Amino acid sequence: MSQPTLDCPPGTPAPESDGASLWRIHRETIIRVLRYAAVSLVATATSTLSLGVMVGLMGFSAVWSNVAATAIGTIPSFELNRRWVWKRTDQRSMLRQVVPFCALSLAGLVVSTVAVGVVSSYTSGWSRLDHTLAVEFANLAAYGSLWIVQYQLLNRFLFAGQARASSFTGDDQTTHSSPGSRPPMLTSTGQAATTTGMRYHDGTR
């Protein structure tokens, strides 16, 4: 027995599936999170590589190497997040963007430095390879714990202005009348009447 089908009136778009509807509603957020994750991978790879070189090859102190590696990774993280993830093209603000972003990096640095210091002391008697891997794991775990918190702060405060304003460009501009303009007149049939052929003089047509 065949099941009844729902016929849509001509010109009516077919209903969207749940997945397509969710994608349409949350498309901007999903893309932003994916780009933010990609930038985090770039910054983490930069910091981890720098840390590995300084600790594993050069034999520097793990704590001070972590400080330098974090500073190196902050540079691409700031620029990519600002320009690519949140689409900020205006001039960067030292007080509203650079300083708070560096403060977030400093918070991550404090957490990661404590973690790296503890792990470095515990694994000081290990081989250089195992010691280096343990230090890098501690660094990754510390920054991973702050990943979601940093995203919320960047999205709501540091880079929110232009990203939200850009959502109101394009077709929305054509739906709003310019200041001082009068709405179109409606005829009895509900159609907008133009002023062509309609002239008013002394209150008469």
Give the pLDDT confidence of 114-126 residue by residue, as tens digits.
999 999 999 989 9
Q: Which residue has the higher pLDDT, 168 or 23?
A: 23
Give Dmax over CA atoms of the chain in angstroms. Answer: 101
Confidence of residue 13 (pLDDT cuts 50, 70, 90): low
pLDDT at 193: 44
In sequence order, what are the residues at sequence separation of 6 or more whose Cβ sits closer than 8 angstroms to the Cβ of residue 15?
8
pLDDT beyond 70 at 10: no
pLDDT beyond 70 at 175: no
Alpha carbon 131 to chain centroid, angstroms: 35
- Whose CA is closest to 162, among 96, 86, 98, 100? 86
End-to-end CA distance of the chain: 66
Q: Find out whether 25 and 78 touch, Cβ atoms under 8 Å.
A: no
Q: Share the mean pLDDT of the chain.
A: 77
Rounded Cα distance between 80 and 84, Å, is 5
pLDDT at 39: 96
pLDDT at 35: 96
The phi and psi torsions of 186 (rounded to 5 degrees) equal -110, 135
Q: Which residue has the higher pLDDT, 51 or 163?
A: 51
SS3 124: coil
